[in-house]
Every structure is written in structure tokens, then in C-alpha cells.
Amino acid sequence: MVQVNKDMTIGEVIQLDQFIPAILMRSGMHCIGCPSAQGESLAEASMVHGMDVEELVAQINDYLATK
């Protein structure tokens, strides 16, 4: 089973599954299509958006576990 971690870039994470961008958007990360966002880690992007990175990682990993 694939899992994400806070050090993975947004680009890496969204390549794992076509529905992960929807999870990021629902969480408040609306800039995932921005070229500069592709190189940011989940931790960096979460900090910029005032989000809890551990909660975001858990949401993504919970989704991936159901696949």
C-alpha cells in the first residue's frame, strides 16, 4: 500500500491518484495547479495555508488505504 508523508511534494502526491487533488482542494489548498506549488512539500504548503499537515497526511492515507 502506498502512503504519503509530509516531506513529499504536492507534485509527487497528486501523481499517486486522480482523486488526491480533490482532497487537497477540499482542505483549502486551491493552488495545487500552480507550477510553483508542484515543488512544495505538503509540510510547506500546509504551513502557508495554516493547515495541520499531520491531519492532511492522515486524510490522504486513509483514502489510499480504501483503494
For the chain, the domains span 10-65
Quote the pTM value: 0.89
Class assignment of domain 10-65? mainly alpha
Amino acid making up residue 3: Q
Amino acid making up residue 34: C
Q: Could you tell me if 32 and 3 are in contact, meaning their C-beta atoms sit under 8 angstroms apart?
A: no
- The pLDDT profile of the chain, 67 residues, written as one tens digit per residue, is 789 999 999 999 999 999 999 999 999 888 777 787 788 999 999 998 899 999 999 999 999 999 8
Q: Could you tell me if 57 and 65 are in contact, meaning their C-beta atoms sit under 8 angstroms apart?
A: no
The C-alpha atoms of residue 44 and residue 2 are separated, in whole angstroms, by 21
User: Which residue is listed with cell 482542494?
Assistant: 25
